[in-house]
Amino acid sequence: MKAVHFGAGNIGRGFVGLLLHNAGYEVVFADVAEGLIAQLAAADSYAVHEVGENPAVQTVDNFRALNSNTQETELIKEIATADIVTTAVGPHILKFVAPVIARGIAAREPGLAPLQVMACENAINATDILAREVGSRPEAAGGALEDKAIFANTAVDRIVPNQDAGQGLDVTVETFFEWVIDRTPFAGSEPKIPGATFVDELAPYIERKLFTVNTGHASAAYFGFEAGLEKISDAMADQDVAEDVRAVLEETKQLLVSKHGFSSEEQEAYVQKILARFTNPHLPDTVNRVGRAPLRKLSRHERFIGPAAELAERGVVPEALLGAIAAALRFNDPADAEATELAGILASETAADATARITGLEPGHPLFNAVSTLVEERQAEVATASA
Ligand SMILES: NC(=O)C1=CN([C@@H]2O[C@H](COP(=O)(O)OP(=O)(O)OC[C@H]3O[C@@H](n4cnc5c(N)ncnc54)[C@H](O)[C@@H]3O)[C@@H](O)[C@H]2O)C=CC1
Ligand SMILES: O=P(O)(O)OC[C@H]1O[C@](O)(CO)[C@@H](O)[C@@H]1O
């Protein structure tokens, strides 16, 4: 059995690659980072250090590595004969990996079982995004790829911080993980991946994960950044930050319970478990990593505007989420390209235009004015600071 995995970074090596390896797949990592690919190509194995309660070390071997920029022909051949293709490259990168995936699918021999494609990104229905990109390629014209691939949405959850430069390919991860996969596209042929859970209805799980784990984690990052703290564990140890994060998760809980029918007790237990994961003192994680890409995180269906908009549509003023959105607008990490772009938008557009551009909210939406006020406040703050 063979899997081609795009993105040999933190989640690629520390989670998806590990589970596929443990399931018995030979893993072909594809990445654009030449140094990383060279290291993987030269290595026989790497270690995944799981830290926290019940720490463990797992070894991943039986892998190869290809540079997806310079070894496209080889990659197409691998995809043409693979059982699974997964990605963990970031939702905005899916459009760049779609062409080679389309060519690989087109090159599959007739009669071969359909390729099982799963995008493992933090975004609602990321695989649908990838499927649309693949479907828009010339190779897919006339439905040519339809019988040759299955696309299944997934929700992936494991905190994998940035790794120390000195530790080579080894990855330090938390012990917890969850990989939930939509069963329906497989029609009975789902792969056997120990540790992955197949469900008939993914939407509640994906929203619960994004609007609890990711909303909470990113809130801790932005409130922590605002408080001048560096590490996520320090942010969570700060009483004000911890209370603000808790309040945000109270609001998303309200939405998730009423929208998806999770019981209040069940959601509370989920929240408690997640708050404990954020405080894991063995995991060296930073507010800058967790807060990365604020424009993506502030976009329309993401972890802040998504639940806040739905609450506003239900007549609730999401005060705590608005507090987190205000903190996100202040995330001005100079090393983060999206934070710089965000600052540029705030500096050059009216509050209403900037709100529409950053959040995708329509001016008539019940959340729009509240966010626009926050944008205006942030603009005034920056203007005062630079006067
Ligand atoms: N790190 C975490 O705790 C979690 C991350 N995720 C999601 O997993 C995805 C990856 O995140 P990380 O592993 O943290 O990021 P990362 O930055 O460690 O890894 C991404 C990898 O993708 C590679 N890449 C970029 N463009 C590429 C292309 N065109 N073709 C092939 N490879 C390419 C990069 O070189 C890098 O090695 C994101 O969507 C993230 O939201 C999901 C759950 C947890
Ligand atoms: O690219 P993103 O959305 O910041 O993804 C990384 C995040 O995913 C999570 O690990 C949750 O699965 C977060 O805790 C982590 O910060």
Domains, the chain, in order of start with CATH, read 2-200 (3.40.50.720), 204-386 (1.10.1040.10)
Structure confidence at residue 52 (pLDDT): 87
What separation in Å is there between the alpha carbon of 8 and the centre of ligand 1? 7
Structure confidence at residue 306 (pLDDT): 98
Tokens of 232: 């996520």
Structure confidence at residue 165 (pLDDT): 85
Which ligand 1 atom sits nearest the alpha carbon of residue 162? 18
Among 51, 53, 48, residue whose Cα is nearest residue 22: 48
Let me know how many helices (H) and strands (E) the chain has, helices first: 18, 12
- Give 92's contacts (C-beta < 8 A, 6+ positions apart): 296
**Locus of tokens 């926050």:** 374
Query: Quick check: CB of 16 below 6 Å from ligand 2?
Result: no
Structure confidence at residue 281 (pLDDT): 86
* Burial degree of 64 (CB within 10 A; 0-12, 13-18, 19+): middle
Query: Quick check: CB of 122 below 6 Å from ligand 2?
Result: yes
Which ligand 1 atom sits nearest the alpha carbon of residue 121? 39
Q: Is 10 annotated as a binding residue?
A: yes
Q: Is 4 annotated as a binding residue?
A: yes
Tokens of 10: 């933190």
Structure confidence at residue 331 (pLDDT): 98
Structure confidence at residue 150 (pLDDT): 98
**Locus of tokens 């690659």:** 17
Given a contact cutoff of 8 angstroms between Cβ atoms, the answer to whether 330 and 336 are in contact is: no
Among 76, 83, 75, 82, residue whose Cα is nearest residue 30: 75
User: Residue 231 belongs to what H/E stretch?
Assistant: none
Q: ipTM value of the model?
A: 0.97
Q: Which residues of the chain have pLDDT under 70?
A: none
Which ligand 2 atom sits nearest the alpha carbon of residue 159? 10
Span 106-149, pLDDT tens digits: 999 999 999 999 999 999 999 999 999 999 999 999 999 999 99
Q: Which ligand is nearest to the CA of 96?
A: 1
- Collapsing DSSP to helix, strand or coil, 364 comes out as coil
Structure confidence at residue 219 (pLDDT): 98
Beta-strand ranges (E) seen in 222-370 are: none
User: Residue 24 belongs to what H/E stretch?
Assistant: none
Query: Quick check: CB of 68 below 6 Å from ligand 1?
Result: yes
Q: What is the mean pLDDT of the chain?
A: 97
